[in-house]
Amino acid sequence: MIVDVHTHVPSHVNAVPPEEEILETKMRPDRPLRITSSHDDFFKAMAPVDRVISFGIAMPPDRPAVIGEKEARKVNDATAALVARAPDKVIGFMSVQPDLPDALEEMERAHADLGLRGLKLGPNYQDFDPLGKNARRVYAKAQELKLPVLFHQGTSPIRDAPIRYAHPLLMDEIAILFPELRIVMAHLGHPWLEDCLVVVRKHPNVYADISARFLRPWSFYNGMRYAYEWGVMDKLFFGSDYPITMPQEDMDALRHLKDFTGQYHLPEVPQELLEGIIQRDSLALLGLS
């Protein structure tokens, strides 16, 4: 079974009107990125995977939405609407902004009424202190409701998103405080790959996803080689960060890493371990089977 653990709910339900198309030029080094897409675009891109985790990001009122809706209720409703299109394939994660007074209430609603089964947080995008009191309340609620939490980790080109809020070493402290909480650190914590992987190694319930890492080939290679040397290949999850990349691209990159190591005469990463990332039953590890 192939699971894509990291996708963003498409910006539009129906076909995107040409005047609403948004092209982004910093996220992909190889080509401009169309960040707007429809439900149909999403399902077409997800054809190569069996199951998919999808979410939006609830932004604070004074920040522009990255894509799509801002308010947590609307973000979570949009996720539930995507799940309703293919409930056997899509698992929806909720998002809340921990500093807003209704964050816990919205978590209850998204869990009980919408059936969302995990939580997506991006402390840099959402501008909250990941070790602060409000955030800890949200982690405690997630632990109680058995919601795995997928954190954006590492850098981002969004100018007003504080990078230090997304440093992987902060996750170590969260995992110490909430040992039962299942945590997925996105993007191998790029560019702090080793910082991310040593946190993954330490904590039984902390994992990392490889989504969109192949876009920087040297960094991708190092991430895979570090994971191998630190013995944590079996804690890496497959993901695409749709619409940033398509799952087929991430799969191809894992299967062709050997071309890169061959070309530059680099120490290899065993192919069966790279294939293991693609085939990993991450839903079982996250308690979502």
Query: Rule CB under 5 A: which residues touch Zn ion?
Result: 241
| Structure tokens belonging to residue 185 | 């650190």
Nearest-angstrom CA–CA distance, 53 and 46: 11
Distance CA 110, CA 170 (A): 26
Cβ-based nearer residue to Zn ion, 66 or 227: 66
Nearer to Zn ion, 109 or 120 (CB): 120
Nearer to Zn ion, 197 or 244 (CB): 244
User: How many Å apart are CA 26 and CA 39, to the nearest integer?
Assistant: 24
**Least separation in angstroms between CB 240 and Zn ion:** 9
C-beta of residue 239 within 8 angstroms of C-beta of residue 250: yes
Residue nearest to Zn ion (CB): 241
Burial class (CB in 10 A: 0-12, 13-18, 19+), 216: middle
Please give the structure tokens belonging to residue 189: 């914590």
